[in-house]
Copies of this chain bind each other. A is one copy, B any other.
Amino acid sequence: MSQVVESARRAKEASRLVASLDDKTKAAVLNGLADCIEGAAPLIQMVNGKDVMEAQKAGLAEAKLARLRINGSVIEQTMSSLRQIAGMPDPVGQVTLERTTPIGLRVKKVRTPLGVVAMIYEARPMVTIDAFALCFKSGNACILKGGGEACESNLMLMKLIHAVLAGHGLPADACVVLAKATREEVRDLLTLDRYVDVAIPRGGEELIRFVQEHAKVPLLFHARGVCHIFVDQAADMDMAEKVCVSAKTSAPATCNAAECVLVHEGVAAAAVPRLVGAFVAAGVEVRGCARTCELDSRAIPAAGEDFGREFLGLTVALKVVPGMDEAIAHIEQFGSDHTEAIITGDERAAEWFSDHVRSSCVVVNASTRFNDGFSLGLGAEIGISTTRLHAYGPMGLEELTTQRWVVRGDGQVR
């Protein structure tokens, strides 16, 4: 346990320094890191190539290999994201409330960093840079544990981060990278509530379950993204078709992709064949309820577990429901509090749905895929939370801070 404890203790110590940095320094570090990545691009790609080769030998699936690979466009994207984060307003020190109490205490609520953020993630190595950038800009130290298959890439990226930090006289402990940590060490890390203020796991269900099982520190995460679209009886059918197909197919492996479409019985006879046809034409397998299959034989009968399932691929569940109440009840039973959409031209239906579905994001007449930090205007995100506490939905810079109270008096006692 001792080595992880020591790393975490040092991150906590460094966090006090990071918390007090001015925004100019923080922006200079992040812009410097972007330059540094630009210069080191060939080296990064070479080292990453070794990780990819090893992973290929070990038989890693193609989807995971794609995430592991750092190509020119990944590097471009990372640099542009770093520069964007560098330029965002500093959340630290923002005053979110000011009042004077009846006895003359001047009370303020002030944004302050969380302290030490531990992030546990899988294959994509550039998360190392993104996570550091968001934590650092919001005044936090971070402890980063990426996937084992990205070990060499992550160590390389760590060296760049540490070099830039050192160039500004800042300690390497502001960004602890545990590239080679074992499962036991990660488990130990998750119990260090004295040093770690929050842990953010990002990855498959197995990773999330492991973290949830062992954590004593607070967590922010989403376990699954089982997103629904309800096609109301007052839906514009062109819009419904376009949104359903796009929400399923534009990035089927993401957590905000649609997994289940619910269709109002009042329009089912026309809507179901149209939706099934559009899905099939887009290469999507439709698993339908009995009524769906009755209306369109291209739908395959759904098994019970197909509802509430995160297909993460080109499969969608489709169910006809008697009305809004049953759609909401279905979402309550099978949803994951992530994102649900309604397609409707009826303002009252839109309002009822928005008020009674309490997922982290409810979308009216647009794709579920907009539940994302960039789309909602947060600038960048470190993940999406369905934990309700602290952050519900995408987590940007503000979600990496908390608010403390600062009170000024002139001798008041109680």
Chain A contact residues, CB within 8 Å of chain B: 16, 19-20, 93, 99, 101, 105, 107, 112-115, 193, 197-198, 212, 216, 218-220, 236, 239, 242-243, 246-247, 250-251, 332, 350, 354-356, 358-367, 369-371, 375-377, 387-390, 392-393, 402-414
Contact among B107, B251, B371, B411 with A243 in the assembled complex (CB-CB below 8 Å): B411
A392, B404: Cβ atoms closer than 8 Å = yes
Residues on B with C-beta less than 8 A from A251 are 414
* Interface hub of A99, A220, A366 (most chain B Cβ within 10 A): A366
Q: List 21 A-B contacts (CB under 8 A).
A: A20-B356, A99-B377, A105-B370, A105-B375, A105-B376, A113-B358, A114-B389, A115-B388, A193-B212, A218-B219, A218-B389, A246-B414, A354-B406, A359-B404, A360-B404, A361-B404, A363-B409, A365-B409, A365-B412, A366-B408, A392-B403
Are B407 and A361 interface neighbours, CB within 8 A? yes
Q: Is the CB of A220 within 8 A of B414?
A: no
Nearest-CB residue, chain B, relative to A328: B16
Complex: A413 Cα to B212 Cα, angstroms: 34
Docked-complex contact B404 and A393, CB < 8 angstroms: yes
Q: Which residues of B contact A197 (CB under 8 A)?
A: 388-389
- Known A-B contacts: A365-B410, A367-B412. Give 4 more (CB < 8 A): A107-B376, A242-B413, A361-B406, A366-B408
**B236 in contact with A370 (CB, 8 Å):** no
A264–B20 Cα gap in the complex (Å)? Answer: 23
Across-interface contacts of A402 in B (CB, < 8 A): 388-390, 392
